[in-house]
Amino acid sequence: MAPTRWIKPEVYPLMAAMTFVTGMCIFQLTRNMLMNPDVRINKAHRTAGILENQEEGEKYSQHGLRKFLHERRPEIMPAINAFFSNSK
């Protein structure tokens, strides 16, 4: 009797995609839990009703990736777009 595989090779791409998406979810949940100014895990911080922390919220929402992308044009493939838009 030939040995049977526990996981078929056709399943590997699906496993890779699911692992990537699960990693992204874990990253975002951890980032929100540890860095979001609106999330208060500590009991002492939860006693404060409304926090006046606009600077901290601005720092959280305008992170490095958003600042980097803000300076770029909203194009997926700018070289291809330029090639097809300038070819008259």
The pLDDT tens digits of the residues spanning 75-88 come to: 888 888 888 887 54
pLDDT of residue 3: 66
Averaged pLDDT of the chain = 82
Q: Measure the CA–CA gap between 41 and 78, rounded to whole angstroms.
A: 43
CB 35 within 8 A of CB 59: no
The pTM of the whole model exceeds 0.75: no
Other C-beta atoms closer than 10 Å to the C-beta of 53 total 13
- pLDDT digit string, tens, across residues 40-51: 777 776 666 666
pLDDT of residue 1: 60
pLDDT of residue 27: 94
| Closest listed residue to residue 56, CA positions, set 39, 71, 44 | 39
